[in-house]
Structure 1
Amino acid sequence: MTRARPHLAGRRTLPARLRLAVLVLLLAPTAVLRADETLHYRWKIEGFFGALAGLFFPSHGDARLSQSTLASGNLQSSLLITSDEVKDASYFTYEAEIEPATGRTVTARSSQLWQGKQKDKSSPPLEAGTVDVASAIHLLRRTLPTTSQEMEIWSDGKLYPVQVQPAGTETRKVGGKSVETLHYTIRPLVRPERRVWKGELDLWFARDPQATPVEMLVARSPARLRLALVQKP
């Protein structure tokens, strides 16, 4: 039996079958996304461990999911999470550069500012089939896959194997109105000699032409942040 290769610090080569599946996913857009867009959310922390974390960190705040066109022609997608519970400026952001023709993540970056301390992580050029949180939202909006997909996620400077799974249709509330959505989950995969991602991502896309993300659940151990769209565009 062929054993999985150990994790290397540099770029990884995806198996041929996985590269083919990813290529099909990337080249099959089903939603019409706006090149420049800003969506506003309110977030709150959830769960028992989240409540404990809320004793030391903000428990609610605002978030902004934005997309813009860079001078190179590529897209920049970012998810900015802030809070008005603290006096000093603080934030957490996921940011990715994306090829508009294919949806491929070119590079990714994460940054946080808390209690005056800033931490930044930037990725090297990424292979097809690799996403971060911001580009995963963009890619799944763009393609709305109907079958599960194995991918790699770049998180906090490291690569992890994950599985994208369609979770069916659900009704969510936006501004007091019911919205029909498609639910997707991203979960860690356990692979020999690979790191296991300690995060989770749930996405609910409206069944409209833009597949608007109306709700998101971002889990970063031990906290779970639920983001709800303030107003549907």
Structure 2
Amino acid sequence: MVSRFLSALALGAALIASPVAAQDKPADAAKDAPAAATVQKAIPYSVNSDQSVDRENILYLDLSNGGRVAIRLMPEWAPNHVERIKTLARQGFYNGIAFHRVIDGFMAQTGDPTGTGQGGSQLPDLTAEFNSIPHVRGSVSMARTNEPNTANSQFFIVFYPRFALDHKYTNFGRVIAGMDYVDAIARGEPPASPTKIVQASIAADDKPVPAPAAPAAPAAITADMLSNSKSN
């Protein structure tokens, strides 16, 4: 399986790495655009940030950096992709998975249990649901290979607007709370000490924020250790 991450895209004079394309090689955005993509029209661009409303379509990501991120899922944009994310979250698939590719000023990518960018779930790949929703700060979109219908479980959260991704990747939601914790995700490809999803859940299921991991207990002091310290 080839890596699921965005191919390099020329944005102005800068070459920005993108969450898809195979073999880590830059690719021209125009060539990467799928010819048969269906662009939806007349869909809502705005999202409701009220977490008391439609809790069936809010994804919570409890991160190892101590924060809870709330993402408004938008079935109006991409119904099958939203259903996939909800299914995997409820299966516990995302629990413990790291953000394996995090590029400062661009995006944070996760959803691969292998941490290599080549893994996914046991469910079949999805047919693309490209839409007209722009990739703005906080957008949540599916990673894929160079082939359009290869999104599976990996997704990325955008740090800053990247409109070159529009119509090429399935944008299915937006962060409505906790973007500061997204900003704090460790950078790297992969990061040396990656930030992980401790728990992914749907708000309607009312799962509490996981308790922080207890610090490791100090080693017990033995008689041998005391005797060695006295002899020194």
Q: Which has the higher contact order (CA 8 A, sep 6+)?
A: 2
- Choose between structure 1 and 2: higher helix proportion: 2
Structure with the higher strand share, 1 or 2: 1
Q: TM-score surpassing 0.5? A: no
TM-score by length of 1: 0.24
